[in-house]
Structure formats: C-alpha cells, structure tokens
Structure 1
Amino acid sequence: MNIAFLLFPNLTQLDLAGPAQVLSRLGGARLDLVWKTLDPVPTDAGFSILPTATFADVPAADILCVPGGLGINSVIADADALGWVRRVGEGAQWVTSVCTGSLILGAAGLLKGYRAGCHWGQIEQLRLFGAEPVSERTVVDRNRVTGGGVTAGIDFALHLTAMLRGEDHARLVQLSLEYDPQPPFASGSPAQADPATVDAYRRRVAKLVPNRDAELKALAERLGF
C-alpha cells in the first residue's frame, strides 16, 4: 500500500507527523512525503522536513493525505501543487486530510458533495468548495476521511487503520503509541475554552496570516467555485 503525504512550506508538522506515525504501523505500507523538489521544506514549528519524493516520482497512491497549516493558501494558488493533489486524489482508494488540509482537497475539487472536517477556525470555509462542514474529530464520507484540527490527526489515522486492518490492529497501534490523552486543561475547543482564549487565538492568526479568509475566498472564485 502506497501512502502519499503532501509536504509543503509552512505546514503544521504535527498534522503530518501524527498520522504518519500511526499509518507507518499499518504493515506492508510505504509512506512518501511529496513536494516539488527534495530540498528541505520549512514547517511552522521552525524546523524543516526532508521530502522523500517529488511530484514526478509519485503519480499515484493508494492513500492521499493532505495536512494543513498556515501555508495552505500558497498551495491552493500553486497550479503544480494543486494539480498533483487533484490527479492523485482522483485515482486514490482513500482521499484524506488533517486540519485545514481539507481546504486544499476542496480547492482541488475532491470534496464537492462530501461531508468533511477541518480546524474549527476555518471549518466554515469548506462551503466555498461545495463541501458540508462537520465539527467532528474524524469525518468519514465514502472514501473521504478528514480529520479535525492538528491533534485530531492521530484519531483520524486510528480510524483509518481500523477500516483498513481491523479494529484489533488499530487497538494494538494505539497501545504501542500509548495514546491515552489526558489534557491538563479544558481548552481544546472553542466550546470549552474561555472567550478570552478564543479571542487571543483569533488575534494571533490574524497577525500571522492577515486577510487569510478573504484570500481563500478569492482563490475559490478564481478556481471557478
């Protein structure tokens, strides 16, 4: 089984690393981190990740997985990157994403008429691409499997593992990773966090990526949605 992860500048590395760690334990699977070149790709955590393959090296995959991050608009505006996502997604057995990676899938035309998840801060933007937003950690609609924000990538990958290898195997992977989350604060969603924390998050994002949503809307219109 060939699994292709899109790797792109300014992605959230845990969107990729979390599910990659889980899916690497499927058994009989090859994982590739794919970008235009094999040069190091900077993440939003301040360090870079090395691609294992280029777009030309991976024309198809059994599973396509697209992470999210602050760099998604640049990917959507990049004809080569979006074209690769579209081509691989059209032929993949499973089309998947984590966090705002679902917006890239949507821009590639792969989520029209599908239910999909996304990070809470941008989930409504899925409507720009004809998808139905669903606020759940993992959303399954036919062969589309989309995760919520960042840490939901682990949940998403365990769900996908269970669908591919059975629940017993998924339980074994979960145990091997000691995935037994006990967060120290009830602040992991806007429903739990206090309003001041939610406002602080929104201000931080607005400073890091000004006009992010307006730019995404313009990109959707340019792509014909």
Structure 2
Amino acid sequence: MRTIGAVIFEGFEMLDYFGPLEMFAMHRDQFKIIAVGEAAKPVTSSGGPAVVPDATFADGDRYDVLLVPGGKGVRAEIENAAMLEWLRAASAGAEVVTSVCTGSALLARAGLLNGHAATTNKLAFDWVREVSQTDAVDWRRSARWVKDGKFYTSSGVSAGTDVSLQVIADLLGEEAAQGAAFWAEYEANRDADNDPFALEE
C-alpha cells in the first residue's frame, strides 16, 4: 500500500485536489490518502468548503506519492518558507511528486524542478515562470502534463485528473488506470503532449 500525501493550503483549487484523489481512491487497496496541512486546523478551499488535515508538516511523515494542487492560494504560499521546506523534505523520500495547475510554481520555487521539464496552467503560464525565480526549468507550453523522472506536472485544473491516471498507469499498470477512469465515468485525455487549452506564445 502506497501513501499519498495530498497537501492543502488556504485557497487551494478544489478540482486540482479532489479530481486526482478520486482517481486514486478508485484503488483503495493500493493507495492510502492523507491530507497534509501546515497546522491542525481546517483549510478553506478556493470554492469555500474546508478540509481538516489528517497530518501536519511537523509530523515529518514519509509519503510515497505527493500531490500538490494549485489555486489562488499559491500566490501566498510561494512566500511561505514552511511550505517550501516541507516540499523539499517530503519530495526527497517520495517515489512520485505530482503537481496540478499552479502547484508547479511551488515545486519550482522550492528548487525541485531545476533541471527538469514541466508544465502548468496555461492562463498562468508566464506568471509561474516569473515567480519560480529560476531559469533551470524547461517549461512546456503545449503539454497537458509532463513526466520527468519522478516529477509529474500538469496543466490547469482538470488536467490533474488526467495526470493522476498516468501516475496510476505507471505504478499499477495501464489496466488499473483505465479501470479508474471507467468506474468514474471519466473520459480522459491520455495525450501528454496535447493540451487543447494551450495558448500561443
């Protein structure tokens, strides 16, 4: 059984978070999902509903898979030293590190994407490149998601559900990914290089 550390912060985007987790939850015998927050108090999403963390940064737990959503709250979190430090520490022991939407800005700001290819929300693409404060990331504008080593970064919002299916395929096999999508009645975009929402540079 693999543990998924799904980080939450004030203003996280709901579909960035719950879309991928729904896919992982289709294989409850393979994945244990843990919501991780900076503190043991409810965290309000961008849409309003709050989530209570199962664990905190201070617990120092190891996770096999990390999920880092985006959302409006990223704009504050990129200046949050505790968040960046936790991402560095948690990523070191993780088998897979996944970001959705502008969550890749947090990984990049933490220095974790240096030397890697990555993508992000296309409407926020230039902003993410700017706030990452590094030229060491190969940002891919047209990608739906990018897999580079253990790092999986996706485009905006619904793309997180697509990249989670790729993670499932890589960890459990293609049949498991197809099964999760079928059970959820979700028609996935499985073409990593084709984001229909990509904008001209």
TM-score range, shorter chain: 0.7 to 0.9
Q: 1 or 2 for the larger relative contact order (CA 8 Å, sep ≥6)?
A: 2
2:179 counterpart of 1:172: yes
* Cα deviation 1:72-106 (Å, max 9, x = unaligned): 12112111111111100122111110000000001
Classify the secondary structure of the residue corresponding to 1:95. Answer: strand
Deviation of 1:191 after TM superposition, in Å, equals 4.7
Classify the secondary structure of the residue corresponding to 2:98. Answer: strand
Deviation of 1:58 after TM superposition, in Å, equals 4.2
- Which has the larger displacement, 34-43 or 123-132? 123-132
Deviation of 1:189 after TM superposition, in Å, equals 2.2
Q: 1:58 to 1:24 in 2, by over 3 A?
A: farther
Letter in 1 for 2:161: I
Deviation of 1:132 after TM superposition, in Å, equals 1.1
* Cα deviation 1:9-55 (Å, max 9, x = unaligned): 01111101000111123332111111122211111102212211111
Q: 2 CA distance for matches of 1:123 and 1:95? A: 20
How many residue pairs align between the two structures? 187
Q: 2 CA distance for matches of 1:90 and 1:171? A: 29
User: Which residue pairs with 2:168 in the alignment?
Assistant: 161
- Tell me if structure 2 keeps the 8 A contact 1:145–1:156: yes
- Tell me if structure 2 keeps the 8 A contact 1:59–1:87: no
User: Which residue pairs with 1:39 in the alignment?
Assistant: 41
- Tell me if structure 1 keeps the 8 A contact 2:36–2:54: yes
Deviation of 1:169 after TM superposition, in Å, equals 0.9
Deviation of 1:190 after TM superposition, in Å, equals 5.6
Q: 1:191 to 1:102 in 2, by over 3 A?
A: closer
2:149 counterpart of 1:147: no
Q: Give the one of 73, 76, 85 matched to 2:75.
A: 73
Which has a greater percent of helix? 1
* Cα deviation 1:88-139 (Å, max 9, x = unaligned): 0122111110000000001111000111110002223336332111131121
1:26-175 maps to which residues of 2 (within 5 A)? 26=27, 27-124=29-126, 125-126=128-129, 128-129=133-134, 130-134=136-140, 135-175=142-182
User: Which residue pairs with 2:22 in the alignment?
Assistant: 21
Deviation of 1:158 after TM superposition, in Å, equals 0.5
Which runs of 5 or more structure 2 residues have no equivalent in the other structure?
A: 190-195
Q: 2 CA distance for matches of 1:81 and 1:191? A: 30
Which runs of 5 or more structure 1 residues have no equivalent in the other structure?
A: 183-187, 193-225
Classify the secondary structure of the residue corresponding to 2:34. Answer: strand
User: Which residue pairs with 1:198 in the alignment?
Assistant: none
